[in-house]
């Protein structure tokens, strides 16, 4: 990853305003309904959806009569759930669209009682919204000390720093095919299941989970030196995850080297954790059975994974189904 996009790793102070973003509407000159919805069309649908969400009013949205909607894996009615709790869009992160699947995904932040992370996936067919999959990682009080490791206190300035890198268009020489991009992201999940795996990490790869840096971070709580993506795999930090199931890759952007991955980490729970060949008491996040419902963006340049951004529901009941295939 280019140095200018990683200045946060070296402790440089970056203060960026994360004020409310406004959204536009789907243009009146949209192509005929029989045509495939292209990038501009898909992005327009997402803009229109977010604008309606911010106004707490879905009445203007072109929702298909048989549309499926979920929030945090459960069926939900249009206008319920986050439509009731949102105050405004707090941070406009990434909108990634894929005309080949006619799907578009948004990663950003909203203001509820506290800043929360939001993922919305829309499926479009016949110029109607036929699927709405919403994930809300509800924010927790940033003033309170951490209790169980599942707090959601996103650093929106950090998300603002990585946004330009995620959205940068790659030169043709650094692009991979759709199949290659999905294979690279899938290899990451294979590597978690079969440590250390053969994952195409770039030397400077980093991961950000729920708005917090979880690689190359000197303030980590694992008692380990700061490690990058590959270093963490070699240290076998993820052996407590038994399986990565229900994997989906609904949106791929070849021009920007982006893959959106969705699925579930199953964590069966253990009272002990193996570190350096020794059994030590496991932290709460590991010794309690749970599932982690994941939504991740992979930035892949030159066939290598440079950055992973994850917005997850980390403490879902063990065996949770996403409700989607």
Q: What confidence tens digit (pLDDT) does each residue in 116-173 have?
A: 999 999 999 999 999 999 999 999 998 888 777 789 999 999 999 999 999 999 999 9
| Total number of domains in the chain | 2
Q: What confidence tens digit (pLDDT) does each residue in 239-278 have?
A: 889 999 999 999 999 999 999 999 999 999 877 776 666 7
> What CATH code is carried by the domain that includes residue 279?
3.10.450.50
**Could you tell me if residue 4 is inside a domain?**
no
Both 127 and 192 in one domain: the answer is no
Contacts of 1 by beta carbon, 8 Å cutoff, 6+ apart:
165, 202, 204, 205, 206, 299, 301, 306, 307
What pLDDT is recorded for position 276?
66
**Could you tell me if residue 2 is inside a domain?**
no
Concatenated DSSP letters of 241-260: --EEEEEEEEEEETTTTEEE
What pLDDT is recorded for position 23?
36
Taking the CA atoms of 274, 276, 278 and 282 in sequence, report the sign of the dihedral they define. negative
**Could you tell me if residue 258 is inside a domain?**
yes
**Could you tell me if residue 147 is inside a domain?**
no
Beta bridge partners, 301, equal 304
Query: Which residue in the block uniquely carries the two structure tokens 């917005």?
Result: 311
Report residue 6: phi and psi, to 5°. -120, 20
Both 184 and 61 in one domain: the answer is no
């Amino acid at each position: 990853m280019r140095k200018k996009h990683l200045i946060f790793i070296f402790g440089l102070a970056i203060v960026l305003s994360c004020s409310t973003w406004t959204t536009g509407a789907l243009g009146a000159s949209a192509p005929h309904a029989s045509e495939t919805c292209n990038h501009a069309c898909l992005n327009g649908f997402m803009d229109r959806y977010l604008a309606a969400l911010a106004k707490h009013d879905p009445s203007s949205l072109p929702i298909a009569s048989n549309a499926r909607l979920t929030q945090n894996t459960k069926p939900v009615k249009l206008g319920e759930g986050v439509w009731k709790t949102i105050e405004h869009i707090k941070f406009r992160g990434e909108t990634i669209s894929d005309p080949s699947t006619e799907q578009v995904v948004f990663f950003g932040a909203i203001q509820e009682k506290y800043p929360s992370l939001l993922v919305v996936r829309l499926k479009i067919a016949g110029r109607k919204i036929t699927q709405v999959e919403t994930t809300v990682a509800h924010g927790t009080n940033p003033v309170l000390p951490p209790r169980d490791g599942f707090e959601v206190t996103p650093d929106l300035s950090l998300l603002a720093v990585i946004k330009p890198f995620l959205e940068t268009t790659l030169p043709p020489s650094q692009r991979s095919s759709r199949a290659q991009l999905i294979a690279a992201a899938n290899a990451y999940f294979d590597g978690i299941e079969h440590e250390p795996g053969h994952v195409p990490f770039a030397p400077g790869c980093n991961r950000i989970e729920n708005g917090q840096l979880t690689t190359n971070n000197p303030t980590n709580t694992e008692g380990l030196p700061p490690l990058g993506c590959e270093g963490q795999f070699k240290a076998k930090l993820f052996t407590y995850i038994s399986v990565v199931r229900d994997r989906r890759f609904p949106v791929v952007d070849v021009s920007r080297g982006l893959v959106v991955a969705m699925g579930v980490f199953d964590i069966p729970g253990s009272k002990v954790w193996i570190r350096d060949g020794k059994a030590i008491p496991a932290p709460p996040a590991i010794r309690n059975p749970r599932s982690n419902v994941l939504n991740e963006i992979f930035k892949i340049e030159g066939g290598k994974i440079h950055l992973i951004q994850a917005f997850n529901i980390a403490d879902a009941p063990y065996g949770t189904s996403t409700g989607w295939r």
